[in-house]
Chains A and B, each alone.
Chain A
Amino acid sequence: EIVMTQSPATLSVSPGERATLSCRASQSIYINLAWYQQKPGQAPRLLIYGASTRATGIPARFSGSGSGTEFTLTISSLQSEDFAVYYCQHYNNWPPYSFGQGTKLEIK
């Protein structure tokens, strides 16, 4: 089973600054990775798939990178609506389709 580990658990960043979130897979998942954003009381929202492709309607300030076991979600110039919890999820060598434990992005 592939284990997804996200870091840090909580990230404090000021509006307008850049945020960098990490996700590590316990074995290579190539680029079979998605990122989601979840706000309190809401369903998750797909941001990135294929490690680096933005989903429909996702602003360009969100970017994904990485392959193999190391992945990064970068949010440039944070907006107030970006403060949320972010999850990575793999879809390689399933089941299961494991999620990371999440990174809470909070206002500094």
Chain B
Amino acid sequence: QVQLVESGGGVVQPGRSLRLSCAASGFTFSRYVLHWVRQAPGKGLEWVALISYDGSDKYYADSVKGRFTISRDNSKNTLYVQMNSLRAEDTAVYYCARVYGSGYGGGMDVWGQGTTVTVSS
């Protein structure tokens, strides 16, 4: 079935780095625009980043710009986010999500189960 599965979360010290992965299955990965969305404990949803079908276009929230890098490997059906210079405020559950249909707009119709990142000394 159509599925996204995140991995790579954990506890990391402030200033360190972490890379999250999102493995896709059940659909043609290269035909979809993908997002990372996060949710801090007890808080709402925050959009983090978007990547185009082939990885040529990338967009970021101001809160992560210059520190996070989104990427994808269509040969491996996997989405990534490299998170550098982590801060306490980056502590959250990180979700990957697929954009419904073609294009950059549209709702996010498939979500992973999330992976938890905790930034703490």
Contacts and interface: CB of A to CB of B under 8 A. Distances in A.
**Closest 3 CB pairs between A and B?**
A34-B107, A49-B107, A43-B111
Interface of A: 32, 34, 36, 38, 43-46, 48-50, 55-56, 87, 89, 91-92, 94-102
Nearest to A101: B44
Contacts, number: 70
Interface residues of B, number: 24
A43 B114 contact: yes
Contacts of B105: 32, 91-92, 94
Contact of A95 (B47, B107, B113, B114): B47
B108 A34 contact: yes
Contact of B61 (A44, A50, A96): A96
A34 B46 CA distance: 14
SS class, residues of chain A in contact with chain B:
loop
Nearest to B60: A95
B105 to A, nearest CB: 4
A5 to B, nearest CB: 12
Contacts of A101: 44
A102 B107 CA distance: 16
Contacts of B61: 95-96
B112 to A, nearest CB: 7
Contacts of B97: 44
Interface string B8-19: 000000000000
Given A49-B100, A55-B107, A99 B50 contact: no
- Interface centre among B47, B50, B60, B95, by most chain A C-beta atoms within 10 angstroms, is B47
